[in-house]
Amino acid sequence: MLNISNPEIKLVTSALVIANVHYFLRKHTNKSIAKVLVKEITKLFGILSFEEEHILLAVDSDHADLEDSFQYYIALQNNCDTIITRNIKDYKHATIPVVTAEQFLRTIL
């Protein structure tokens, strides 16, 4: 896992994000490069599972964006302290703090 200068910070992402990253990388590079880069990402971040329960919770929720809702329930059920996203507006009902990457970096640097 990636430790920024603070050993108390553990960065994680969801398996859904990894799948999306792989899709993007494969479209813009090639299959073998995409696989290598995904392996490198797993060295930097812990990977949280994407389970059926997250799908059902998201589908039954009032969140505006289904994929953001998946991320929210994955984070919530894994006791994440913060969600880092470019799309704060879709998390207005979140019970976990939601910040942009810039806001997060300002708190740790």
> Which tens digit of pLDDT belongs to each residue from 11-68?
999 999 999 999 999 999 999 999 999 999 999 999 999 999 999 999 999 888 999 9
Of 100, 38, 47, 94, nearest to 68 (Cα)?
94
One-letter amino acid of 92: K
Contact 74, 61 (CB under 8 A): no
Contact 98, 83 (CB under 8 A): yes
Q: How far is CA 61 from CA 27, 58, 82, in A?
A: 32, 5, 20
Q: How far is CA 50 from CA 22, 46, 95, in A?
A: 16, 13, 19
Domains of the chain, CATH where assigned: 12-108 (3.40.50.1010)
72-102 pLDDT, tens digit per residue, is 999 999 999 999 999 999 898 899 999 999 9
